[in-house]
């Protein structure tokens, strides 16, 4: 079974993503920030990591950079709503540091599933 690690500091966002992905047959592991996400990844690797950019502890860009460097076979989907930096598009920065694809929040179910499918095939 394909395992997906969802790293986002907003519990409702993690829960929504988990529900969408589990309904189509993926195994989903959650983490509230990059630090915990990396711990969970080391405990049980994932085929795909969905990482928010703006988070406490270890933010998404640092998490993406580490994953890309240490686990280049792992696909990474960066997500962000921009937070207080709405005018600054930070998703392209995530691609520079190793994200394979990006998705702006809020996103539709079909857009999430399309991105996940594209990364896993």
Give 39-79 pLDDT, tens digit per residue. 999 999 999 999 999 888 888 999 999 999 999 999 999 99
Tell whether the torsion through CA atoms of 66, 54, 49 and 27 is positive or negative.
Answer: positive
Task: Kindly state the helix (H) or strand (E) to which residue 101 belongs, with its residue range.
Answer: strand 101-104
Q: Please, which pLDDT band fits residue 82 given cuts at 50, 70 and 90? A: low
Q: Please, which pLDDT band fits residue 110 given cuts at 50, 70 and 90? A: very high
Domain 3-120 of CATH type 3.40.50.2000: no
* pTM as predicted: 0.93
Separation between Cα atoms, residue 18 and residue 6, nearest integer Å: 8
Span 11-27, average pLDDT: 97
Tokens representing 49?
């990591």
Separation between Cα atoms, residue 113 and residue 16, nearest integer Å: 12
């Amino acid at each position: 079974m394909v395992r997906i690690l969802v790293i986002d500091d907003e519990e409702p966002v993690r829960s929504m993503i988990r529900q969408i992905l589990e309904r189509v047959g993926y195994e989903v592991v959650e983490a509230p920030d990059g630090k915990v996400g990396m711990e969970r990844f080391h405990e049980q690797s994932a085929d795909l990591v969905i990482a928010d950019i703006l988070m406490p502890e270890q933010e998404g860009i640092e998490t993406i950079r580490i994953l890309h460097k240490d686990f280049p076979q792992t696909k990474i989907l960066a997500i962000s709503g921009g937070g207080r930096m709405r005018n600054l598009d930070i998703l392209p920065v995530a691609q520079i540091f190793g994200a394979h694809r990006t998705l702006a929040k809020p996103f539709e179910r079909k857009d999430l599933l399309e991105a996940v499918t594209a990364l896993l095939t």
